[in-house]
Amino acid sequence: MRATVSEERLLPGVGSTGTPLLRLDGVRKQFGDEVVLDRVDLEVRGGALVGVVGGPGAGKTTLTSIAAGLLPPDDGVLWLFGEDLWDGSGLIRTGVALVPADDGAVLDRRPCRDVLVGAGMGHGLPRSAAERRATLLLAVCELTDVADLPVHGCTTGQRLLLRLATALLGERRLLVLDDPFTGVDAWAFGVVRAVLREFTAAGGGVLCAVRSPERVAPWCDRVVEPFRGRGCAFDSNTR
C-alpha cells in the first residue's frame, strides 16, 4: 500500500490565516524586446491546486521560475506567504519548491534512493534522518520498487515522481510544477495527482503549469490562462 503524505510531517503548520500562499500582482517580465509576461495577476491559497495553461513558448517556465522565487519580475510584486519576496529577507524561499520540466539529456547514474538521501543531506538532515525521509517519500510516490534503479533507467513518469519526491524533502508549503506531464504515462499521472491532492488536503498549495487544460481541469480547483492578457480564469467543477 502506498504511504500517504500525512504519515510524517511533510508540511509546517500552515494555519488558516486567509492570506494567499502565493500572489502575483501585475507581474511583468521582459527579455530583450520580448515581453513574456504582461501584468499577470494570480494567487494560490492553502488547500488549493491551481493550473496555469499556455502553449509552448507562452511563458510558463518564466512564470513558474518567478512564482518559485528564482527569477525577479521586472515590474509588479511577488507575495510569498504574505511577504514581498524581493523586498524582504528571502528566507521564505525555503517554503516553496519548483518541480522542473524533465531534461532528458541529464543521465543520472545514481540510484533513486541515493538521489533523495543526498538531497536530504543537502537540506541539512543527518544521514539517518535523510535515509528515513527518502524511504517514506519513495513509498509516497510509489517508487519503492525502483529505489535502487539508476535514474537514467527510469521511465519519464518515474523521473517526474522522483523530482516531486525531491521537492517534498523540505517542509514545503507551496509546490510549483513546470510543464510536468509531457511523455508521462497514465499510471504516473495518477500518482502525481494523488500526491498533490494529499498535499493540498494537508494545507499546502500547488501551482501547476501545463500546455492544455484538458489534463488538469477535472482535478484542479482553478485553471488560469494568464498568457492572453490579464488573467482570464475559470473554475473547475470538481470540488
Residue 190: count of CB within 10 angstroms of its CB: 13
Q: Mind listing the pLDDT tens digit for each residue in 185-235?
A: 999 999 999 999 999 999 999 999 999 888 788 889 999 998 864 344 444
DSSP-derived secondary structure for 55-80: -TTSSHHHHHHHHTTSS--SEEEEEE
pLDDT given at position 232? 40
H/E stretch holding 35 reads: strand 34-44
pLDDT number for residue 8: 53
Contact call for residues 173 and 205 (beta carbons, < 8 A): yes
Residue closest to 168 by CA, chosen among 144, 207, 204: 204
Look up the pTM and report it.
Answer: 0.87
CA nearest 143: which of 127, 159, 125?
A: 159
Residues with Cβ within 8 Å of 97's Cβ and at least 6 positions away in sequence, in order, are: 68, 167, 168, 170, 172, 174, 175, 176
- Compute CA 102 distance to the chain's CA centroid, rounded to the nearest angstrom: 13
Cell of 7: 504519515
Q: Distance between CA atoms of 22 and 127, rounded to whole angstroms? A: 32
What pLDDT was estimated at residue 114? 96
**For residue range 125-135, what is the model confidence (pLDDT) as tens digits?**
999 999 999 99
Nearest to 39 by CA among 30, 27, 29: 27
Task: Give the mean model confidence (pLDDT) for residues 145-150.
Answer: 96
**What integer best gives the mean pLDDT of the chain?**
86
pLDDT at 5: 61
State the pLDDT confidence band at 1, using cuts at 50, 70 and 90.
low
Of the candidates 44, 1, 3, the one whose C-alpha atom is nearest the C-alpha of residue 172 is: 44
Rounded CA gap, 204 and 44, in Å? 10
- Are 3 and 136 contacting, i.e. CB atoms less than 8 angstroms apart? yes
Distance (Å, rounded) from C-alpha 70 to C-alpha 84?
A: 14
Query: Residue 98 above 70 pLDDT?
Result: yes
The pLDDT value recorded for residue 108 is 79
